[in-house]
Amino acid sequence: MKFLGNIIWLVFGGIIISAEYLISSILMMLTIIGIPFGIQTLKLAVLALWPFGSEIRESQHNMGCLSTIMNVIWFFVGGIWIALTHLLFGVLFAITIIGLPFAMQHFKLAGLALTPFGREII
């Protein structure tokens, strides 16, 4: 069931969301300061391609306030726009009962798009 959900996800918006993450990752990696942000968005791009069966949880590594600072910077640089895209797709999918599982995945990814640092994808 996860495989079928991921294939349908890929066709109905997964590629667009993943491309958005990939473009933001490439733009951030143009500077040395943006490399950690770019690496994190590459992880999110992979998750955006294949979200069913993946789990997001708090990271075991204690980064202290560094992850909070990185999340604040990320929020203003690109996180808000990607989260709004996830919210838009989530609302569109939530209109029908069939699209509800896909809407839930978009809402999950919207929360992750706002604060990706300090979390790990399993």
Q: Under DSSP, is residue 120 helix (H, G, I), strand (E, B) or coil?
A: strand
- What tens digit of pLDDT does each residue of 16-61 get? 889 988 988 898 899 888 898 888 889 889 999 989 988 888 877 7
* DSSP string covering 3-37: HHHHHHHIIIIIHHHHHHHHHHHHHHTTSSTTHHH
Query: pTM of this prediction?
Result: 0.84
Please name the residue ranges forming H helices in the chain: 2-9, 15-28, 35-49, 66-74, 80-94, 100-114
Size (the chain), residues: 122
- What tens digit of pLDDT does each residue of 82-103 get? 899 889 989 999 999 999 999 9
- CA separation for the pair 36, 20 (Å, rounded): 17
- CA separation for the pair 38, 54 (Å, rounded): 21
Domain locations along the chain:
2-121
